[in-house]
Structure 1
Amino acid sequence: MAPGSKKPIKVLIACDTFAPDVNGAAKFAERLAAGLTSRGHEVQVFAPAATAKHGTWTEEHEGQTFLVHRIKSWRWYPHDWLRYALPWLIHAESRRILDTFKPDVVHFQSHINIGRGVTIEAAKRGIRIIGTNHFMPENMLEFTLIPKSMHERLIKMAWKAARRTFGRAEAVTTPTVRAAEFLEKYTGLEGVLAISCGIDAHNYSPSFEPRTENRILFVGRVTSEKQIDVLLHAVTLLAPELDAQVEIVGGGDQKRNLEHLAQSLGISKRVVFRGYVTDEELRDAYTRATLFAMPSIAELQSIATMEAMASGLPIVAANAMALPHLVHDEQNGYLFEPGSAQDLADKLTLVLTAAPEALDALKHESLRLIGAHDINRTLDTFESLYRGEPVVDTITSEAAAHSTE
């Protein structure tokens, strides 16, 4: 750190999903750990082992190296990648890490399993606790064998559990205003801060070259809550002369079903399922796309949408959860009625038939709006929270600034 700057902080980031997992929560934890390390802070990560191999070792993420404690874990087989650790192992490992590392702050990323165990042990030791929520119980239940008749009761139990764990934190954050309101409503918590997951826009390459094709891109987990089936149905409603191609990047339990759906709809030659790709391949996919589509109804922020904006793409997204905080209708894209293939097709058509000047205007607005989600602002805010300094809600403060322009 620079001479005369504040003392570095020792931070333990505890999460139930971490790289190589591919999802928004894992990516945020990875970028947070790397960003804090790059600023001279001492960071360690506590997460489930990604394979049968478990232990503590130094790993490299986002160009930075730090210690990662990988606890013994088991696959949750209804899910395509989720792993879990047993509670008594979590408590034992939490005690070991906290007593050897002696962090100034524990920042947990969900109230499930590791978050619950490590906060109990951190509270006993008087360690400052910060909590961030990326989790919606409704999304998890689809990966269980529990009858739907019991879901409502279990969702209420899950939110009560969240209240107990987040209640141990001195500050609670979540990526968007809508997500903060959601968390307060269902847990009874107050003062939840909306702090963007943040993104380094310099990692992405917008293209303003003349359009030579109509390419629709989706990036994310290929699961039912993403409603990729709505996107496929919408493509069948587009004018044939648009010759729209669809690129779907990501893996998940619905990939095979969606491939069959594309075939049954007669659009399999126009839809490519890329599966998991490298970071470089992902950036290339953003650059070559004409627009980005996000039909999901369960986004607490959507890092993929932020990456698309940083790539200068117009966005067509469902008017649900946190997406309206990123997509400003008719400014950097369009919002459509969730679940409506016809409305999605209509909004896709508006972008795909836009004159070059209008398309460039949408692109420039995406680039302007993503500035509010700069990773350095996110890191600044969490540094202040770790030190117990007052902070402002970065999302609402940015909105207020724009309202006065």
Structure 2
Amino acid sequence: MRILLGADTFAPYVNGAARFAERLAAGLAGRGHEVHVAAPSPTGAAGVGRFGDVAVHRVRSHRYPWHESFRVCLPWEAGPATAEILRRVRPDVVHVQAHFVVGRGLAAAAAASATPLVATNHFMPENLFAHARVPRFLRSAAARWAWRDVRAVFGRADAVTAPTPRAVALLTGATGLAASAVSCGIDAARYAGGDERPDTVLFVGRLDQEKRVDELLRAVARVPGARLEVVGDGTERGAWHRLAAELGIADRVVWHGFVSEEDLVAAYRRCAVFCMPGIAELQSLVTLEAMAAGKPVVAADAMALPHLVRPGRNGWLFAPGDVEALAVRLAALLADAGTRRRMGTASREIVAGHTLDATLDAFEDLYVRVAHVPSAGPVAA
């Protein structure tokens, strides 16, 4: 098939949605499909490049004033640009990864040309509030408006998916759209191996408010001898650096920033425990990756994380904000190598249900089905 993916974030950007789009595109191309991606330009200028065997059509972008590494496309430029990309590519199916500017433009163009359309939701309003500088007193109203916008864009699709049953429930409850769960999937084999450092906790992700790394720092401060490695960057980087110094643990925290894929795999392999304190995870690819590396996980009891962490089996959940409970769980795991091994084995068993091959199978089946039915309503995945 000729497949056009619409991604509002894509390589070289590092985040869960971007990495999923990269793996999906590369995986589909590896199965012999002709894959194209429409995505914002990382430099500003429009053009066409390559991502392995994938053609990437870059849409003109502009620097976002409140985030030094983030770029945005303007609707009045992206709409015509994405319509032209669709006209040139002439895909059998369009699959948008977001309802933002690029996804919105492609969804509109697909609907206008009767091209089969699949939409996958990775969005929660909480993930954008800090970037958009939305005051707290306006966030409830802003969230309702944002979900109405999701419905307006994804309501054009022949099929809608989200990464987990919890993500589907959130989307359906907020928009009324029918959707099905398709895991983002990972290549679990690449994370296996390596020797752990028994005193090391790892966090991977954006350093933004909803990730709650401040709670992890406060918990680590209560566990003598514990070290923390942080991979990622974001708007709270400076504040959390200062917090580590205030807590007296600056010498026990390593801030890696963005790293290569090889260095990320190495970080998973050497940690003893992975921690995800974030409260807005629709699946959490990084948690899946840590589990594939055979690590126990301590995670917030929030959103989709309970789909991955089975208390007492492959890790523990803690109530968001309960720093003492988080510290107790981390301390217990760091002190017990036998439990870490047992839970790490369970993590690998759970990850077996989230293979990239299964994800590719599911989307291939969905593409074929929507490409052979009238675009008159949603099709169950």
* TM-score with structure 1 setting the length: 0.89
Structure with greater contact order relative to length (CA < 8 Å, sep ≥ 6): 2
* Post-superposition offset of 1:151: 2.3
Q: In structure 2, what is the Cα distance between the partners aligned to 1:201 and 1:146?
A: 38
CA separation in 1, counterparts of 2:139 and 2:345? 43
Does the residue aligned with 2:251 lie in a helix, a strand or coil? helix
Residue 200 of structure 1: how far off its partner (Å): 0.2
Is 1:172 matched up with 2:160?
A: yes
Report how far residue 155 of structure 1 moved. Answer: 1.5
Correspondence for 1:366: 347
Deviation at 1:150, TM superposition (A): 2.5
Separation in 2, partners of 1:359, 1:234: 19
The separation in 1 between residues aligned to 2:213 and 2:68, in whole angstroms, is 17
Give 2:231's aligned amino acid.
Answer: V
Aligned CA-pair RMSD: 1.6
Pairing of 1:177-216 with structure 2 (within 5 A): 177-190=165-178, 192-207=179-194, 213-216=198-201
Q: Distance in 2 between matches of 1:292 and 1:392?
A: 35
Shift of residue 30, structure 1, vs aligned partner? 0.4
Please state whether the residue corresponding to 1:130 is helix, strand or coil. Answer: strand
* Alpha-carbon distance, 1:276 to partner: 0.8
Specify every segment of 5 or more residues in structure 1 that has no aligned partner in the other structure, as ranges. 1-8, 394-405
Distance 2:325 2:14 in 1: 29
Match of 1:41 in 2: 33
Give me the whole-angstrom Cα distance separating, in 2, the residues matched to 1:148 and 1:213.
40
Question: What aligned pairs does 1:227-238 form with structure 2 within 5 A after superposition?
Answer: 227-238=212-223
Give 1:268's aligned residue.
Answer: 250
Aligned-partner Cα distance in 1 for 2:126–2:345: 35
Q: Following the alignment from structure 1 to structure 2, what is the Cα–Cα distance between the partners of residues 79 and 135? A: 19
Structure 2: 5+ residue runs without aligned partners? 374-378
Alignment partner of 1:222 is 2:196: no
- 8 Å CA contact 2:120–2:160 kept in 1: the answer is yes
| Residue aligned with 2:22, SS | helix
1:28 aligns with 2:20: yes
- Matched letter for residue 236 of structure 1: A
Alignment of 1:283-298 (within 5 A): 283-298=265-280
How many aligned positions are there? 374
Which secondary structure does the structure 1 equivalent of 2:298 belong to? strand
Alignment check: 8 A CA contact 1:80 1:252 kept? no
SS of the residue 1:157 aligns to: helix
| Corresponding residue of 1:305 | 287
Q: Deviations over 1:339-395 (max 9, x none)?
A: 1110101111221122x33221111001111000000000000001101179986xx
SS class of match (1:216): strand
Separation in structure 1 between the aligned mates of residue 126 and residue 211 of structure 2, nearest angstrom? 13
* 1:256 maps to which of 227, 234, 238: 238
Q: Larger deviation: 95-104 or 382-391?
A: 382-391
> Are 2:47 and 1:55 equivalent residues in the alignment?
yes
Give the distance between the partners of 1:366 and 1:271, measured in 2 at CA. Answer: 25
Kindly tell me: are residues 80 and 185 of structure 1, through their superposed partners in 2, closer, same or farther at Cα, counting changes over 3 Å?
A: farther
Contact 1:206 / 1:310 at 8 angstroms: preserved in 2?
no
Is 2:126 aligned against 1:134?
no
For residues 31-50 of structure 1, the C-alpha deviation after alignment (integer angstroms, 9 at most, x for no partner) is 00000000000000001101
C-alpha deviation, 1:118, in angstroms: 1.0
Cα distance in structure 2, aligned partners of 1:148 and 1:79: 19
| CA distance in 2: counterparts of 1:72 and 1:392, whole angstroms | 34
Please say if residues 206 and 313 of structure 1, whose CA atoms lie closer than 8 Å, have aligned partners that are also in contact: no
User: Conserved in 2, the CA contact under 8 Å of 1:90 and 1:114?
Assistant: yes
In the alignment, the residues of structure 2 paired with residue 252 and residue 146 of structure 1 have an alpha-carbon distance, to the nearest angstrom, of 17
Matches within 5 A, 1:387-398: 387-388=368-369
Residues 131 and 332 of structure 1: is their aligned pair in 2 closer, same or farther, counting only changes over 3 Å? same
- Whether the 8 Å CA contact 1:183–1:189 is kept in 2: the answer is yes
In the TM superposition, what is the alpha-carbon distance from 1:15 to its structure 2 partner? 1.1
Per-residue displacement from partner, 1:4-34 (whole Å, max 9, x unpaired)?
xxxxx11100011111111000000000000
Range that drifts further, 192-201 or 211-220? 211-220
Match for residue 375 of structure 1?
356
User: Are the aligned partners of 2:40 and 2:71 in contact in 1 as well (CA < 8 Å)?
Assistant: yes
CA distance in 2, matches of 1:18, 1:347: 35
State the alpha-carbon separation in 2 of the partners of residues 52 and 212 from structure 1. Answer: 42
Shift of 1:80: 4.3
Identity of aligned residues (%): 45
Give the aligned partner of residue 376 of structure 2.
none
> How far did 1:138 drift?
2.4
Using the TM superposition, give the Cα deviation of residue 205 of structure 1 relative to its aligned residue in structure 2, in angstroms. 2.3
Contact 1:215–1:290 at 8 Å: present in 2 too? yes
Per-residue CA distance 1:172-230 (angstroms, 9 max, x = gap): 1011111100000111112x1111100001111234x5x65310000111111100000
**2:145 counterpart (119, 140, 157):** 157
Q: CA separation in 2, counterparts of 1:291 and 1:392?
A: 38
After TM superposition, give the deviation of residue 52 of structure 1 in Å.
Answer: 2.5
Q: Deviations over 1:105-154 (max 9, x none)?
A: 10001111111111111111110000000011222122224433322222
* SS of match in other structure, 2:36: strand
Alpha-carbon distance in structure 2 between the residues aligned to 1:231 and 1:138: 19
CA distance in structure 2 between the aligned counterparts of 1:282 and 1:27, rounded to whole angstroms? 13
